[in-house]
Structure 1
Amino acid sequence: MINENLAGTLVLVLPDAENSPGEKKGQVGVLMYARSETENYVRFPEGGEAFYPAGQVLMLKDKQQVFDDLTKNGSSMPLDDFKAMYKIMLLQDRGTSQALYSALAIANDQPGVQEKVLESIHPVEKQELAKTYGR
């Protein structure tokens, strides 16, 4: 089930989204209504609305996750990716909508960090396997 508390969240339409309505690929918008895995309404600042599957709409990961990734893997990543992740983390720390918009724009421009700082609005839940015992 989609988290209904996401309404109003700034999101990025997947840059390589297939069948993107209105050619809004790679643009930042506001998630207006998270209805289901296949229908999520996004409104764009320059005008227009479109709906996308949840997998094509990305939001920023929690800033603590970004910080943890930087501290663990920062020395082994390319310098440009490190700088981009650091800027994104600082912008997230500001917490304003303009700062979050800028953070999403940086993530869009740096393909090397997208996987590290972005996640789907509908993350795949990990299923716990129940251990069964037989006689």
Structure 2
Amino acid sequence: MKNESLNGTLVMVSPDLKNDPAQGQGKIALVNYESLHDKEIYVAFDNGQEAIYHPDALLRLKGKEDILAELLDNGSEIRGDDYKDLYKITMLQDRGTGKAEWQALEIVQQNQRISNTALEPVKPGQAIALQKSYSR
């Protein structure tokens, strides 16, 4: 991955975060600014509220290939509903739009059992390249 800004990346505040004055645990937010010097990430929630988080407090979707590999490797051990939710996330990632990514994160919000399979920690200075698929 190239070193690029996380600006514009959708993230989820860790549901396990203990001390959060913004009370954003488990909420989806958009990265507005990333300060590599201070190791802080400025995010905005859909209600307009803004907050500052350390990168360790934020999660983002894993790449589609990583999720599919997990489904292939451990599919027989994953509950049926969880398998379907993970597959839906990969289908949404195929769309390559912000709205689809938001919907994918909402699936994780509603089913916390899949969070370890679908989410990864945010790494400052590295942005996810949106995977775009074009329909014919």
Q: Counterpart in 1 of 2:129?
A: none
**1:1-135 equivalence runs, <5 A:** 3-36=3-36, 38-122=39-123
| SS of alignment partner, residue 47 of structure 2 | coil
- The answer to whether the Cα contact below 8 Å between 1:4 and 1:34 also exists between their aligned partners in 2 is no
- Equivalent pair of 1:15/1:108 in contact (CA under 8 Å): no
| Aligned partner of residue 22 in structure 1, secondary structure | coil
Q: What is the CA–CA distance in structure 1 between the aligned matches of 2:64 and 2:5, rounded to whole Å?
A: 18
Alignment match, 2:134 = none
Q: Distance in 1 between matches of 2:35 and 2:121?
A: 14
SS at match of 2:114: helix
CA distance in 1, matches of 2:96, 2:86: 16
- Residue in 2 aligned with 1:132? none
Displacement of 1:4: 4.0
Q: For 2:97 and 2:123, how far apart are their aligned partners in 1? A: 23
Structure 1 residue ranges, 4+ long, deviating more than 2 angstroms after superposition: none
Q: How many aligned positions are there?
A: 121
* SS state at 1:23 partner: coil
In the other structure, the counterpart of 2:130 is none
Which gives a bigger RCO, structure 1 or 2 (Cα 8 Å, sep 6+)? 2
Instruction: Give the TM-score taking structure 2 as reference length.
Output: 0.82
| Partner SS for 2:29 | strand
Q: Go from structure 1 to structure 2 and tell me whether the alpha carbon gap of 1:4 and 1:21 turns closer, same or farther (over 3 Å shift).
A: farther
The Cα shift of 1:85 comes to 0.5
8 Å CA contact retained: 1:85, 1:113: yes
Q: 1 or 2, which has the higher helix percentage? A: 1
Gaps in structure 2 of 5+ consecutive residues: 125-136
Q: Which entry has the higher C-alpha Rg, 1 or 2?
A: 1
Instruction: Show structure 1 runs of 5+ residues with no match.
Output: 124-135
| TM-score, normalised by the number of residues in structure 1 | 0.82
